[in-house]
Structure 1
Amino acid sequence: MTFHPSFTRSGLRFVSRDSVGRRASLHQFTITEHFRTFRALVTMKVVVVGGGVVGLSSALCVKERCPQAELTVVAAEFTPNTTGDGAAGIIQPQLWDVTQEELTWLQWTFDHLSRLYKTEFSSQIGLFCQSGYNVFDREVPDPPWKDIVHGFRHLTGEEAKKFPGYSYGWFTTTLMLECRSYLPWLTQRLKEKGVKFEQRKIASLSEVCSDYDVVINCCGLSARTLLNDQGVKPGRGQIVRVHAPWIKHFLLTHNLSTTYYNSPYIIPG
């Protein structure tokens, strides 16, 4: 049985596929509900495919709620060699094309990270608040997530003048989560709970299905080849890290004549 995770208030919600490699019915339920049925009877063998932030977060959620499960994480790469290790980690989704389900996920993510922000290890995991600007070359509608982040407002005329070539914008405060700190923290917590890590590249989920009762798919970009998901496409960009302590705010520029998120940005961290 294969699961594809998303977060809910009660933990992770999974879509399960009863078979791999052919059409099958899908069922939605929380991993807690699934394990509650079997926990008193057997020790489930669970594998998470993928060692990025989604894979490790899913693994920790499963292990905390189902401590009897025998859990393994299988991935071609682990931190510090994942895609997430290079991410700035700013909590902001797409500007407008956001579904209601995605907004719900964002709210739960923001609430979860806000709780972590108040703990003594927030600095250890690279979690902090950051204010900044989204600027545009024309007037645009407000984003659907404006009430989730803190202090959303439009730029004043004087503020807009500070950004030549951009006439409109927003100012917000959001959370930053740097994966180069968060992933090692997740890894350590999982190891302390007895989770096994196996570094190898698999060509098909069928390679692990025979060895485990439950397969949780968190393969990210590899879904294009591993699951033949042609809708998954990588993005490319260049990141330069510089020492600039006078930069206090993030700045995301949007040239809508090309596409958004296709212009330079600055993110302190």
Structure 2
Amino acid sequence: MASDVIVVGGGVIGLTTAVVLAEGSAGRVRVTVWSRDAAPETTSAVAGGLWWPYRVEPREQVGAWALETLRALTELAGTAPEAGVRMVAGTQAGITVADLGPWAAQVPGLRPAAGPGELPGGVASGLRARVPLVDMPAYLAYLRDRLQAAGGSVVRRGIASLDEAGDAAPLVVNCTGLGARELVGDADVRPVQGQLVVVENPGVEEWFVAADPASADTVYALPQPYGLVLGGTAREGVWDTAPDPATAEAIVARCARVHPALADARVLAHRVGLRPARSRVRLEGERLPGGAWCVHNYGHGGAGVTVSWGCAREAAALAARRLP
């Protein structure tokens, strides 16, 4: 066999899992990623890239995954500028520490906003934090290069069954996100559509988020090197990936109430992605019908970047039990 492990899925979850497997084996395990789409075409490439647990379950496990990822991304921000990870201060509006899980106590510097001076007009309360903000196109390229440096590879290939991967390697890791709905017949996987607008940044240096998990409309502004990312939407069960002009106008208008200069900002791009939501992340192993062992790692909702390293390391630990 050409590979010891086939990781199916080339988004942030698949690439991170492949990196952990390849580096953890010190070159002894041959890891190949099969990806239907090139990295710039994946859902991960569309993500805003802010570290923060959002629309992901189960809460009791998400905190540990997120904190492990926070540590990994914080380290990259200080040691690997090519990764596209920066530590950026910002505000989560309309929530308190009590609204979060126990994980919040371990986020360095997380605190309540100190009155109107730290909050935009019209925002009564919020939390302040300095957390990783990831330039996703740069980060995905970094993960691919890091995988290749560890002896792994990425192949453009779509599959109709996990047994196709099982025929090529004794161990398969399923990181197909929304694709798992069809690939493994998991009806619990569903899309949560997110639309965003990229505009020319008029000078916004901090991130801002106001996201009610129960609402289909959110407000966020994320300063990236390529522009200011404005959002957004969270529409359950919507499969459409075409940007809607009226929705884009509404997104800009909502963000302009926080930063008035955005009302006249030049639009650079429109993007739509489908978050792979599930009632809970599926992270477990099973025997495939063809005999290969499979570890599933999908269903991360709106927090793929946020839990990527924690979930990858747990998936790799499950896989290691089946490796030579």
TM category (shorter chain) comes to 0.7 to 0.9
Tell me, what secondary structure is at the counterpart of 1:187? helix
The equivalent position to 1:72 in structure 2, one of 32, 37, 62, is 32
1:51 counterpart residue number: 10
Normalising to structure 1: TM-score of the pair? 0.74
Residue 132 (structure 1) aligned to one of 90, 107, 111: 90
How far the C-alpha of 1:247 sits from its partner, in A, is 0.7
Residues 1:240 and 2:200 are matched in the alignment:
no
Task: Please state whether the residue corresponding to 2:54 is helix, strand or coil.
Answer: coil
Give the counterpart letter for 2:43 in structure 1: T
In structure 2, do the counterparts of structure 1 residues 133 and 260 end up closer, same or farther at CA, with 3 Å as the change threshold? Answer: farther
Alignment-mate amino acid for residue 208 of structure 1: A
Q: Is 1:152 matched up with 2:107?
A: no
Name 2:134's counterpart in structure 1. 177
Pair 1:117-2:85 in alignment: no
1:83 alignment partner in structure 2:
43
Larger Rg: 1
The amino acid of 1:223's aligned partner reads A
Q: Which deviations, in whole Å up to 9, do the C-alpha atoms of 1:152-187 show, x marking residues without a partner?
A: 2223442477332x4322111111122211111121
Structure 2 unaligned regions, length at least 5: 225-324
More off after superposition, 139-148 vs 213-222: 139-148
Residue 245 of structure 1 and its aligned partner are, at CA, apart by 4.4
| Contact 1:43–1:68 (CA under 8 A) maintained in structure 2 | no
Contact 2:2 2:168 in 1 (8 A): no
8 Å CA contact 1:96–1:143 kept in 2: the answer is: no
- SS of equivalent residue, structure 2 residue 191: coil
Which of 226, 229, 252 is matched with 2:183 structurally? 226
Does 2:208 correspond to 1:251?
yes
Using the TM superposition, name which of 221-230 and 138-147 deviates more: 138-147
* TM-score of the aligned structures, taking structure 2 as reference length: 0.62
1:221 offset after TM fit, Å? 1.2
**CA distance in 2: counterparts of 1:194 and 1:111, whole angstroms:** 25
Q: C-alpha offsets along residues 211-262 of structure 1, whole Å, 9 cap, x if unaligned? A: 2111011111111111112222112122111122421211111357xx2573
Confirm or deny: 8 A CA contact 2:91 2:128 kept in the other structure: yes
The partner residue of 1:163 within 96, 116, 121 is 121
* Aligned CA distance change for structure 1 residues 96 and 170 (closer, same or farther; 3 Å): farther
Aligned to 1:36: none
> Contact 1:74/1:200 (CA < 8 Å) preserved in 2?
yes
Task: Give 5+ residue unaligned stretches, structure 1.
Answer: 1-41
Which one of the candidate residues 147, 150, 156 is aligned to 1:190? 147
Establish whether residue 204 from structure 1 lines up as the match of residue 161 from structure 2.
yes
Q: Which position in structure 2 is the counterpart of 1:9? A: none
Q: Which has a greater percent of helix?
A: 2
User: Aligned equivalents of 2:178 and 2:55: distance in 1?
Assistant: 22
- C-alpha spacing 1:89/1:80, structure 2 compared with 1 (3 Å): same
- RMSD over aligned CA atoms reads 2.6
- For 1:46, the aligned partner's letter is V
> Residue 80 of structure 1: SS of its match in structure 2?
helix
Which residue of 1 is the match for residue 52 of structure 2? 92
CA distance in 1, matches of 2:215, 2:57: 11
